[in-house]
């Protein structure tokens, strides 16, 4: 009899604010330890928290983008536990009255078609600090720069059935959160962290099995691998007549292995209660309407529209809408050229390669859409060769130069199509290669490419290769 996996995810997302959730300290990744702290995030007696409205605005955007119901009132709660990275002795979060509930996200299922995951809740909370085990020999240091960083936690229903879909869902979630500019979702820097809950049951069974929770995974591929391994383990336990024990497991990415967390580490009684220092969080209908009106087009809608409007393949539309900035860039170039297919070819090909090399998103690239469009037009009208234009891209990105024609002329890249000059180069090459000309006449047709190459070389790359080929064919037939 076959088994079915059941997976639910808890995702922590760092909001893209410049300041912390309850104080004015800056949120800076990689700063010198304990540079961005104050009495509030250090938990000094008498310090009072005040909510950062920017964080609330971003959390609202996340909730609305995911179709959640936002509650007009939600409540800040204290989650009490002792750990050295938590100076107050409690984390301010939301518990029984979260910011938003419900909602769902549709994604491209790993096996094709659409998948959907319902969301249980989205609530706001503050992050803890970080323990550093490698700074001081034989001791652990604590860095509280991160303490108080604004997060949302997104909790899904146990709707996923396949580790590959857990990964696909996370990709779609990340894309959505990036589109609405809620978070940069950078897993390496910890701005997106995922805990995966998983159980198995016999196919056709309605009841949920006992779950385990996997923590400490730091990549989407790691999530998929850890889940596969855990599903196989649980199936093995059950098939041997054993029982799955509810526990928390820690993923070791280097060894690709799951270890049980010591049970003491997870046996918490958090003694949640409403935080007496903070008023109820109110979201007025007007704030909600404004947040809704400010939402941009979401990734799937944009992908469908771009595919339809510009007549692209599903694949191209998907590539071009991976990042919102790339989609913006593409639409600007396509609009300027009046040709979606042509714009798609340049943006998803050479421009994407350039962005990868420079490690820059499309909106940070000094080479702006009108400049790329101008260059593509020069290629289309035959003024500059395709190859020369591609070689020019890094330079244009480096200098931010916008007068493309001037650059092309200054570099001597204007293609020569003047018959007299082309013929002079061709004659020179054919005179110098009598032996090859003889072999060509005897049937070695592939030497044509060699002659074209030689003429291009003689012209310093300036000759129009299409015209050179035509003239060569004529001339070789005459001689």
Which residues form the interface with ligand ADP (CB under 6 A)? 6-10, 155-158, 197-199, 208-209, 211
We find the least distance from the C-beta atom of residue 198 to ligand ADP, in angstroms, to be 5
Both tokens assigned to 389 = 């234009």
DSSP state of 273: E
The residue (of 10 and 108) whose beta carbon lies closer to ligand ADP is 10
We find the least distance from the C-beta atom of residue 191 to ligand ADP, in angstroms, to be 20
We find the least distance from the C-beta atom of residue 162 to ligand ADP, in angstroms, to be 13
The residue (of 29 and 95) whose beta carbon lies closer to ligand ADP is 95
Both tokens assigned to 55 = 């964080």
We find the least distance from the C-beta atom of residue 130 to ligand ADP, in angstroms, to be 23
Q: Number of C-alpha atoms within 13 angstroms, CB side, residue 274?
A: 10
Gap between the Cα atoms of 373 and 369, Å rounded:
6
Q: Which residue has the tokens 């013929």?
A: 423
Gap between the Cα atoms of 122 and 102, Å rounded:
8
We find the least distance from the C-beta atom of residue 75 to ligand ADP, in angstroms, to be 18
The residue (of 166 and 317) whose beta carbon lies closer to ligand ADP is 166
The residue (of 157 and 277) whose beta carbon lies closer to ligand ADP is 157
Residue nearest to ligand ADP (CB): 8
We find the least distance from the C-beta atom of residue 197 to ligand ADP, in angstroms, to be 3
Instruction: Name beta bridge partners: 80.
Output: 90
The residue (of 119 and 429) whose beta carbon lies closer to ligand ADP is 119
Q: Which residue has the tokens 């050295």?
A: 84
CA torsion 185→189→191→197, rounded to 10°?
90
The residue (of 8 and 299) whose beta carbon lies closer to ligand ADP is 8
We find the least distance from the C-beta atom of residue 120 to ligand ADP, in angstroms, to be 6
Both tokens assigned to 314 = 């599903």
We find the least distance from the C-beta atom of residue 150 to ligand ADP, in angstroms, to be 21
Q: Is 256 left (phi over 0), alpha (psi -120 to 50) or beta?
A: left
The residue (of 149 and 248) whose beta carbon lies closer to ligand ADP is 248
Which three-class secondary structure state does DSSP give residue 152? strand
Number of H helices, E strands in the chain: 18, 17
The residue (of 191 and 199) whose beta carbon lies closer to ligand ADP is 199
Gap between the Cα atoms of 427 and 475, Å rounded:
9
15 closest CA partner among 203, 210, 152, 167: 152
């Amino acid at each position: 009899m076959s088994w079915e996996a059941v997976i639910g995810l808890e995702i922590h997302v760092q909001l893209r604010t410049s300041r912390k959730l309850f104080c004015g300290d800056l949120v800076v990744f990689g700063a010198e330890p304990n540079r961005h702290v104050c009495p509030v995030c250090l938990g000094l007696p008498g310090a009072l928290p005040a909510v950062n409205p920017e964080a609330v605005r971003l959390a609202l955007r996340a909730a609305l983008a995911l179709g959640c119901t936002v509650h007009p009132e939600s409540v800040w709660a204290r989650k009490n536990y002792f750990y050295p990275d938590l100076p107050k002795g409690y984390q301010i979060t939301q518990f029984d009255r979260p910011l938003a509930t419900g909602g769902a996200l549709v994604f491209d299922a790993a096996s094709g078609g659409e998948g959907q995951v319902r969301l249980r809740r989205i609530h706001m909370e503050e992050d803890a600090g970080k323990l550093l085990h490698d700074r001081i020999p034989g001791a652990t240091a604590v860095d509280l720069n991160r303490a108080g960083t604004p997060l949302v936690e997104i909790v899904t229903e146990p709707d996923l059935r396949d580790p590959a879909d857990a990964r696909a869902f996370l990709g779609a979630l990340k894309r959505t959160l990036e589109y609405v500019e809620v978070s940069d979702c950078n897993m390496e820097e910890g701005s997106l962290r995922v805990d995966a809950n998983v159980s198995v049951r016999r196919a056709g069974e309605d009841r949920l099995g006992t779950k385990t929770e996997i923590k400490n995974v730091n990549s989407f591929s790691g999530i998929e691998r850890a889940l596969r391994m855990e599903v196989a383990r649980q199936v093995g336990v059950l098939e041997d007549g054993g029982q799955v024990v509810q526990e928390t497991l820690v993923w070791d990415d280097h060894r690709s292995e799951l270890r049980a967390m010591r049970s003491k580490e997870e046996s918490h009684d958090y003694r949640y209660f409403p935080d007496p220092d903070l008023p109820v969080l109110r979201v007025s209908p007007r704030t909600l309407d404004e947040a809704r009106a400010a939402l941009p087009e979401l990734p799937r809608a944009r992908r469908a529209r771009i595919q339809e409007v510009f007549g692209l393949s599903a694949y191209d539309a998907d590539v071009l809408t991976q990042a919102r900035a790339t989609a913006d860039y593409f639409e600007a170039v396509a609009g300027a050229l009046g040709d979606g297919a042509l714009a798609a070819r340049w943006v998803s090909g050479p421009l994407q390669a350039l962005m990868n090399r420079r490690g820059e998103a499309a909106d940070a690239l000094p080479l702006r859409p009108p400049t790329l469009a101008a260059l593509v037009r020069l290629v289309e009208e035959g003024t500059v060769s395709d190859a020369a234009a591609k070689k020019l891209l890094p330079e244009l990105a480096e200098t931010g130069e916008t007068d493309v024609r001037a650059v092309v002329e200054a570099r001597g890249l204007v293609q020569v199509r003047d018959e007299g000059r082309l013929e002079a180069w061709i004659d020179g090459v054919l005179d110098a290669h009598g032996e090859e000309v003889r072999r060509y006449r005897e049937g070695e047709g592939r030497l044509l490419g060699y002659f074209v190459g030689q003429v291009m070389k003689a012209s310093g790359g300036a000759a129009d290769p299409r015209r050179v080929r035509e003239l060569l064919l004529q001339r070789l037939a005459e001689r």
